[in-house]
Chain A
Amino acid sequence: MMIPSDDIQNKALVVEDLVLYFQLTHGIVQAVDHVSFALDKKRAVVVIGESGCGKTSMGRALTRLLPRNVNRYTGKVFIDGVETMSMDDETYRQQVRWVKISQVPQAAMNALNPVLKLKDQVMEPLLLHEKGVSQEEALERVHAVFDFVGVPDGFIERYPFELSGGMRQRVVIAMALITNPAVIVLDEPTSALDVLTQANIYNVLKRIKWEKGTSFVLITHDVATSSELADDVLVMYAGHMMEHSSAEAFFAEPLHPYARMLMAAVPKLYGEEELQFIPGKPPSLLNPPTGCRFADRCPFAMAKCQQEPPTFQLGDRLVKCWLYEKEADGIVTSPEALAGVSA
């Protein structure tokens, strides 16, 4: 291993050179293409990008909930200090999924089993993944976790259809939380909810982060709301990681041209700026362009953009764009350098 093991031990999640390709009849979809980042404990990274940029695939690659047509699935993923990519599926299921990392799926409101009482389904991960937990103990834990996410205690005997969307969302979060994993992957957790409910859910997530020390990978296309939880921001475009910065630095001034244009398209409640949109559309991931994948739509594109840019390091920020070639502190080539970037 190239990274000093101390560094990895201290991080909730280290992703190195993660690749996930899908096989279709007419080609290979490069959904996640060489993505590397590290996430400290008690922090949240938000993965933002347009639909089809590979952000959901990345989340699924982390929890290894993959469809059958995987063509290539390589790289290294350290979750809570343990390398998981070398494990076989059964070991992964027993030792990692829901023990170290759990997931709140997209459209989580509809992710509950309609014919099971809430207590039975929230309890299930605990009974399956923590050996030696008795029914009574598990029920106790369900009460505790419901209390924590703000679901009234009486709801424990109810069925999912008796709950509002916001309450169901809380139940699904409770289910992801019950085994106390180090990392929770949230895939568009609030996109189907109303603004007030959404703000409430983010309050719950913040409390989980602060009080339980859980780390989050938040996958979303809603940039404005994502700032509620963000400590780090990871911008994805067409399968590539375009930028990785701390939230302070990113929301003050995004570096990558794509990130800048994306931010200019976010509606704001106050302020006078005109909204801008990005002309054109993202490339197909079936036959992506060879150079920078954003070059076609980029106002700063130059001749060099025909070659794929490396990931440049500027202070503690990473950006994959030739514009920063001169000011960069270096190129991130080895995982060692990456681990040095304390998020």
Chain B
Amino acid sequence: MSEQQVQEAVYTPAEAQEQPLLSVRHLKIWYELKRFGFLHAGYVKAVDDVTFDLPRGEAIAVVGESGCGKSSLMKAILGLVHPHDGQILFEGKDIWEGGNTAMREYRMKVGYVQQDPYGALPPFMTIRRILEEPLILAGMKNKEERLQRIIRSLEEVKVTPPDDFLNKYPHMLSGGQQQRIVIARALIRDPKMLIADEPVSMLDASVRVEILKLLDEVQKERHLSVIYITHDLSTVRYFSERIFVMYAGKLIEKASTREILDNPKHPYTWALLNAISDPLAENAKKLRDIPPGEPPSLITPPPGCRFHPRCQKAIQGLCEVEVPPHFSVAADHEVACWLYREEA
């Protein structure tokens, strides 16, 4: 990709009218389990029938506990694991059609911010080399041009003055600066979509705010589509417009951030919100009401609604038999729970 092509990748208003940037259709990611290395022994159903659209320029958050399949979903979107079934459409094209060349081109348009900045940056490469590599791979031949681009990128993520940092190694930087470098690396090829996997969970409170603000700025300025993957609902509202709640491989509630916080519908979403503490002294005086048990095994998930064994509102004879469809309870608010079968 030359400089000119990179420039073209910047958002133009006409594009917004078209189809969503990314559509995920009935996506299933099942990992096969084998016995003795070749006998089929079942599947781990990490992502089971997930469907959603990501419009251009919107930031969405996927929220769920560990093991709910959010990282598998992310890997599938990055094209790192092959789906068992279903489609991932980027700008209307299935990312798995067209072989390696198409996949390479697709990956040029997607940026990825890892969770742990300490682990994401190679310790033996200077900042300059770390940021230069994606450009070399993109085919930018001119050395001076690459340097200019790196400097601009560092300025964008506010690692200034850039000259001081070019020849440093990751360990010479603080955690916040390292995460900024990770973000700069994700943005250096002007992606259309950014996937951020728990970008702030390893950082201190104050640094966390800086990084959230930076991501927010970058998203607005570049009109990026962002998928923000997290388990922490309290940071979500500062950043994304919509929240998808995921439980045991399924999306169980989709709504705008405001709507989820003010008017949550799914019993699991209630539990998640209930488990988060705001810093108040009263918290220490009472026990929190938490559903018993742990998320189910994804090899043999419970029949019907996967949350029913832990759900206090479970309806006998319905929840454990049939999988709830997505009921639309309000404009832009869908919930997969039988409680809302009449309202919908």
Contact = CB atoms under 8 A, between A and B. Distances in A.
B204 A223 contact: no
Interface string B280-298: 1101100110110010000
B280 A227 contact: yes
Given A225-B277, A228-B284, A270-B278, A51 B290 contact: no
B207 interface: yes
A87 interface: no
Contacts of A248: 281
A250 B281 contact: yes
A251 B281 contact: yes
Interface string A260-296: 0111011111110001111001000000000000000
Contacts, number: 123
A196 B233 CA distance: 12
Q: How large is the interface on B (under 10, 10 to 19, 20 to 34, 35 or more residues)?
A: 35 or more
B294 A262 contact: no
Contacts of A174: none
Contacts of A271: 278
Contact of A275 (B213, B233, B287): B213
Contacts of A223: 205, 279
B234 interface: yes
Contacts of A195: 65, 231-233, 272, 275-276
The CB with the most chain A CB atoms within 10 A, among B176, B205, B281, is that of B205
A265 B213 CA distance: 11
Contacts of B279: 223-224, 226-227, 251, 263, 266, 268
B167 interface: no
A286 B208 CA distance: 25
Interface string B18-57: 0000000000000000000000000000000000000000
A327 B65 CA distance: 47
B183 to A, nearest CB: 16
A224 to B, nearest CB: 5
The CB with the most chain A CB atoms within 10 A, among B209, B231, B273, B291, is that of B209
Contact of B284 (A50, A165, A206, A265): A206
Q: How large is the interface on A (under 10, 10 to 19, 20 to 34, 35 or more residues)?
A: 35 or more
Contact of A224 (B65, B204, B278): B278
Given A224-B277, A231-B284, A267-B238, A196 B290 contact: yes
B234 A224 contact: yes
A74 interface: no
A164 to B, nearest CB: 6
B2 interface: no
A221 interface: yes
B213 A277 contact: yes
A292 B172 CA distance: 26
Interface string B194-230: 0000000000111111101100000000000000000
B234 A269 contact: yes
A200 B175 CA distance: 29
B160 interface: no
Contacts of A269: 233-234, 237, 261, 273, 276, 278
Given A224-B234, A227-B280, A267-B234, A202 B206 contact: no
A203 B290 contact: yes
Interface string A173-205: 000000000000000000000111111101100
Nearest to B275: A199
A268 B283 CA distance: 14
B66 interface: yes
A228 B283 contact: yes
B138 interface: no
A247 B205 contact: no
Kindly list the 3 A-B residue pairs having the minimum CB-CB distance in the complex, ordered from nearest.
A199-B275, A277-B209, A194-B65
20 contacts: A194-B66, A195-B232, A196-B275, A196-B290, A196-B291, A203-B290, A225-B277, A227-B278, A227-B281, A230-B283, A230-B284, A247-B284, A251-B280, A252-B281, A262-B205, A265-B206, A269-B234, A275-B209, A275-B238, A277-B206
Interface of A: 44, 50-51, 164-166, 194-200, 202-203, 206-207, 221-231, 246-248, 250-252, 261-263, 265-271, 275-278, 281
Interface of B: 65-66, 174-176, 204-210, 212-213, 231-235, 237-238, 261, 271-281, 283-284, 287-288, 290-291, 294
Given A199-B274, A247-B281, A271-B278, 16 more contacts: A50-B205, A51-B204, A166-B294, A195-B272, A196-B290, A199-B277, A206-B284, A223-B279, A224-B234, A227-B278, A230-B281, A230-B283, A261-B206, A262-B205, A277-B210, A281-B174
